[in-house]
Amino acid sequence: MDTPNKKTYHHGDLRKTLIHVGIELISESGASSLDLRKVARIAGVSHAAPYRHFADKKALIAAISEEGFNLLAIEMEQAISMKDGSAHEQLRGMGHAYVQFAITNPSLVREMFSGLTIEREAYPSLYDVSKKLFNMIETVVIIGQEKGNIKQIDSNELTCAIWSMMHGTAILIIENQLKPVTMQINGIEHITEVCMDSLILGLGAS
């Protein structure tokens, strides 16, 4: 009666089901294989049903991206909480978590940064959830500044630098562009550390 079988979707939360089917499809075979009709088929509804919940395909992708940011935020939060120590350790942990998430979900991460975030008014909740990530990083920065471990310039700007480094490292790794280094044993963890540490050193209090 309340087993989570396909029948449930019809009275249950089809919206949520579509999002999760979409994430699975993207993870399995890339973003290009995300078609609305297939999502509906797998969810067990007609191809027109998704239009009850999403204005169009872009709206579904926006919702999927939003869920992606939520999942990433959870990983990051966990990484921070595991390190009880210095801001530097926390930043390192965040970098590893960010890169690890990208390696685990490359297609999803690509989709999250594929242009939809530009339309801020159209997808406000997508913007909100990405901003949550920004604030998470900034909190670490501010605490680090209070402890005197990070230099006293605008925390907004420092946050930009940190997110940029994490993101660039993650993307270039999943795009195979750092091959000369990532090929080696533990290459990915190593280069992530090199990238983060170089930046952290530059951010140090002086």
Partner DNA sequence: ACCTGAACACCGTTCAAGT
Binding residues (CB under 7 A) for DNA: these are 9-10, 14, 34-38, 45-49, 51-53, 56-58
From the list its own copies, DNA, none, partner contacted by residue 169 (C-beta under 5 to 8 A by kind): its own copies
Instruction: Determine, following the binding rule CB under 8 A, whether residue 29 of this chain makes contact with its own copies.
Output: no
Between 57 and 83, CB nearer to DNA: 57
Contacts of 28 (CB under 8 A, 6+ apart): none
171-190 mask for its own copies (x: CB under 8 A)? xx-xxxxx-xx--------x
Considering only 11-19, 44-52, 77-85, 191-199, which stretch makes contact with its own copies by CB under 8 A? 191-199
DSSP letters spanning the chain: ----STTHHHHS-HHHHHHHHHHHHHHHH-GGG--HHHHHHHHTS-TTGGGGT-SSHHHHHHHHHHHHHHHHHHHHHHHHHH--S-HHHHHHHHHHHHHHHHHHSHHHHHHHTSSGGG-TTT-HHHHHHHHHHHHHHHHHHHHHHHTTSB-SS-HHHHHHHHHHHHHHHHHHHHTTTTHHHHTSTTHHHHHHHHHHHHHHHHHB--
From the list DNA, its own copies, none, partner contacted by residue 24 (C-beta under 5 to 8 A by kind): none
From the list its own copies, DNA, none, partner contacted by residue 7 (C-beta under 5 to 8 A by kind): none
Between 81 and 198, CB nearer to its own copies: 198
Structure tokens at 189: 């963890």
Closest approach of DNA to the CB of residue 116, in Å: 13
Q: Which residues bind its own copies (CB under 8 A)?
A: 30-31, 106-107, 110, 113-115, 117-118, 120, 127, 130, 134, 153-154, 156-158, 160-161, 163-169, 171-172, 174-178, 180-181, 190-191, 194-195, 197-203
